[in-house]
Structure 1
């Protein structure tokens, strides 16, 4: 009986952490965005973002799609590394909300730095592809 109970509990745990197809697709899109931001890959950044992107920085600055991409491509915003942790993905219909913690090394305009942020991403499904529609960052208070 104890063995059976263990199997049932493990099965329930597996179901609880299993991702839907859309959640997995959004996770892949987030990873593609992370890599494209590090590489400053203009074509990939354009492919992954919605035309009406609203990209909010922790400073309060908000960029549209063109400004977001130009900032990365020009080196004004330069990510050397980006590590994402504590990620959650919630999909409802054609919208996905992703939350995670971002820790990065940057070299903005040639000036080395570090970034620690809580991020919320809003993704929309357009033509079967997930596109970043909105992003907002909040600085993590230093303790």
Structure 2
């Protein structure tokens, strides 16, 4: 009986640690993604965004991967700084899907001498591709009051 108890405890600990690894991995990917947006790193963005990406901006505008990456590279979407204020990662589908809820404060270049601040709540869905690794499939953001 004691062996079964120990086995159950070890199984629970193992499952918990795998869940923590996925959460840490996705949090890291989110930080790298936002840094890539600021740096206009098209290579990284093309790598992390799934080919079927749908991004619904806080304005309601909808972009696919090609259009969004192009807007970052050509200055249509400009980010001076992105501060992650809150991030929650939940794993699903036998750790093959991750849903992220977060809040960020985005600083954009100044207009009339004042920086433009976008305070956003966002939702992101990642799926794990056997060849490409974690891919961001869906991203939607909503404005919060500043």
TM-score by length of 2: 0.79
Instruction: Determine whether 1:118 maps to 2:121.
Output: yes
Match of 1:38 in 2: 38
Whether contact under 8 Å (2:27, 2:87) holds in the other structure is no
Deviation at 1:131, TM superposition (A): 1.1
Give the alignment of 1:56-95 within 5 angstroms: 56-93=56-93, 94-95=96-97
Match of 1:10 in 2: none
Supply the distance in 2 between the matched residues of 1:70 and 1:30 (Cα, whole angstroms): 19
Instruction: Determine whether 1:133 maps to 2:145.
Output: no
Deviation at 1:141, TM superposition (A): 2.9
Whether contact under 8 Å (2:108, 2:116) holds in the other structure is yes
Q: Deviations over 1:77-130 (max 9, x none)?
A: 11000001121000112111111111011139xx95211110111111112611
Supply the distance in 2 between the matched residues of 1:23 and 1:127 (Cα, whole angstroms): 18
Match of 2:7 in 1: none
Q: Which runs of 5+ in 2 are unaligned?
A: 1-15
Q: Secondary structure at the match of 2:66?
A: helix
Q: Secondary structure at the match of 2:25?
A: helix
Supply the distance in 1 between the matched residues of 2:51 and 2:104 (Cα, whole angstroms): 24
Deviation at 1:137, TM superposition (A): 0.5
Whether contact under 8 Å (1:103, 1:116) holds in the other structure is yes
TM-score by length of 1: 0.80
Shift >4 Å, 4+ stretches: none
Whether contact under 8 Å (1:25, 1:130) holds in the other structure is no
Q: Which runs of 5+ in 1 are unaligned?
A: 1-15
Q: Deviations over 1:52-78 (max 9, x none)?
A: 000110111110000110010001111
Whether contact under 8 Å (1:77, 1:107) holds in the other structure is no
Deviation at 1:19, TM superposition (A): 5.4
